[in-house]
Homo-oligomer: A and B are copies of this chain.
Amino acid sequence: MTTTTTTTKDRLLDAAEQLFGDKGITATSLRDVTALANANLASVNYHFGSKDSLLAAVFERRFQPMNDRRLQMLSELEAEGSDHPVQLEQILWAWLEPPFHMRHQSGDAGERYMRVVSRVYADPNHSIHELFMQQFETVRDRFHDAFARALPTVSSYEITRRMHYCIGSLAHTFCWCQQIPSLCSTAEPQSDEVLHSLVAFATAGMRAPADFELVSELLDSGAATPQAPSR
């Protein structure tokens, strides 16, 4: 193998990304990171300043390109179909494909990175939570508008909620694809079978009739025993 010369900074980022993704963020010590990166313990504080800043650097390295890809794909959809509204499935593809694209990038690194992101999602008390929200703001607003145009009958609140359901499905998929083989692509790992499955699921979910208020009325007449709604 050709040992390409990498800087200590890059090796620290790679090691941190891997360990944060595999073991969790708080469970990973700087001694773990520096040992894996073949670097000195003090190098983290020299290059990044602190563990939190290292996490932020790991996060930012791939998040911006991923979101740029999302926005680019959405813009192209809106440009080529300026006469007719963009199909819902296309919007979801533009939203969900970039994470999978990132995942299959540079070996396992992308997959580990997505696990880091998913973990940050699940722990809103992390130091980079604000950074996370800030960098995601533009994507969120742009796609919210696109969804609102494609789903004129669904309220803005409901679109926000359903977008969060999609995010949850996406994050959960990346968190568990390591543990549950059937969540990964079974055959060839580069296959986008899960991506297509998720887009199909999310498309149908986003398009769900927003008449569940009626269901709640049906439920109010339920018995003491828990009762499921009957259509």
Contacts and interface: CB of A to CB of B under 8 A. Distances in A.
B94 A228 contact: yes
B122 A171 contact: yes
Nearest to A74: B228
How many copies are assembled? 2
Contact of A157 (B77, B89, B101, B182): B182
A29 interface: no
Taking each of A121, A164, A178, A180, which has the highest tally of chain B beta carbons within 10 Å of its own beta carbon? Answer: A164
A164 B179 contact: no
Contacts of A161: 182-183, 194, 197-198, 201
Nearest to A192: B216
A64 interface: no
A199 B227 CA distance: 14
B164 A173 contact: yes
A45 interface: no
Given A198-B165, A200-B208, A122 B125 contact: no
Chain A interface, DSSP helix/strand/loop, else mixed? helix
A97 B216 CA distance: 12
Contacts of A216: 192-193, 196
Interface in A175-197: 175-176, 178-180, 182-183, 186, 192-194, 196-197
Interface residues on A, range: 35 or more
Contact of A165 (B89, B162, B173): B173
B201 A121 contact: no
A202 interface: yes
A158 B171 CA distance: 18
A212 to B, nearest CB: 4
A50 to B, nearest CB: 16
Given A69-B226, A122-B119, A164 B176 contact: yes
Interface of A: 22-24, 26-27, 69, 72-73, 76-77, 87, 89-91, 93-94, 97-98, 101, 118-119, 121-125, 157-158, 160-162, 164-173, 175-176, 178-180, 182-183, 186, 192-194, 196-213, 215-216, 225-231
7 contacts: A97-B228, A166-B169, A168-B168, A168-B171, A169-B169, A196-B212, A201-B208
